[in-house]
Amino acid sequence: MARYRDALPQLSGDLFLMDAGLETDIIFNRGVEIREFAAHTLLPDPKGRETLVTYFRELLSLAGATGAGFIFDSQTWKAHMHWAKDLGASEDDLRKANHEAIAFISELRNEFSENAKPIVLNGLIGPRGDAYAPEEVVAADEAEQYHTKQIGWLAETEVDMVTALTFTQSDEAIGVVRAAKAAGLPIIISFTVETDGNLPTGQPLGAAIQAVDDATEQAAAYFMVNCAHPDHFFHVLGDEAWARRIRGIRCNASRMSHAELDNSEVLDDGDPVELGEQYRAIKERMPWLNVFGGCCGSDLRHVTQIAKALAA
């Protein structure tokens, strides 16, 4: 049974941490390949599963030590039908992968039951297509129909919420919000932006958030920004009504553009201390933010520095 589906504890304003750049950390720092960049494929493999266990235990311990809550992501970002052919997976395979991913993080949550603050099970949903360079425009109605399948699989589990992560288009975000609402799941929309602070489609971040809220009667619990360096979007943040709908950020450690990251064969892990200070600057500008993690190139060091800077 879901613990927090009817009342997300992070809406209280308390500090909540998230994990880091799981895929880049595991591939580059821990030397474990991830087939098709789909983290759920690690779970059936003993070495891959143990790598995930170690990765998350470190972060859950950090949350406990800092007195923070934790938004615990499932490894389901690419566990949907768009990637079935690339993964050689059937629809039933992907449904089972979603169920097993939630069971995995639920088991680890139980292991850290002594953490003072809540651990929230979060089902990740990736966009239909490339998160860096969307191949086509996805209409809202089409997106709702498409994402209903994976959201339905996740709704069958004890997941507390879902997050549409690294979304590139407001219309696709509108569709996934409608699908989650119909399934009775709280949903968070996390947009990615390019180096100019706009979505990959060219739409300004504020316009995208406003479009989703207008089309869904503010059905999303809140919004986030992920998979971009603070330098890429700090200049567009302020005190506007749309900005107050943002509650969390998960930044890249690297200042590289999406295109540069996509073509890079080495990891750019940036400067963890500098990244923590940049998070503090964003928090000072937007004091209502309370959910923080990392994205590409980041690892435990970065999230530790983020927590330290925010505490200071």
Q: Please state whether the predicted TM-score (pTM) of the whole model is above 0.95.
A: yes
In this predicted structure, which of 68-72, 129-133, 278-282 has the lowest mean pLDDT? 129-133
Angle separating helix axes 46-66 and 91-111, nearest 10 degrees? 40
Q: What is the DSSP string of 160-181?
A: -EEEEEEE--HHHHHHHHHHHH
Q: How much is the pLDDT for 60? A: 98
Q: pLDDT tens-digit profile of 116-126? A: 999 999 999 99
Could you tell me if residue 4 is inside a domain? no
Q: How much is the pLDDT for 13? A: 97
Is residue 132's pLDDT more than 80?
no
Could you tell me if residue 1 is inside a domain? no
Is residue 134's pLDDT more than 80?
no
Could you tell me if residue 40 is inside a domain? yes
Domain of residue 31: give its range.
9-311
Mention every residue, 6+ apart, whose C-beta is less than 8 A from residue 146. Answer: 81, 82, 128, 138, 175
Q: How much is the pLDDT for 75? A: 98
Could you tell me if residue 56 is inside a domain? yes
Classify strands 187-191 and 222-226 as parallel, antiparallel or unpaired: parallel
Is residue 261's pLDDT more than 90?
no
How many domains does the structure of the chain reveal? Answer: 1
| CATH code, 28 | 3.20.20.330
Instruction: Return mean pLDDT, the chain.
Output: 96
Is residue 191's pLDDT more than 80?
yes
Residue type, 189: I
Q: How much is the pLDDT for 136? A: 81
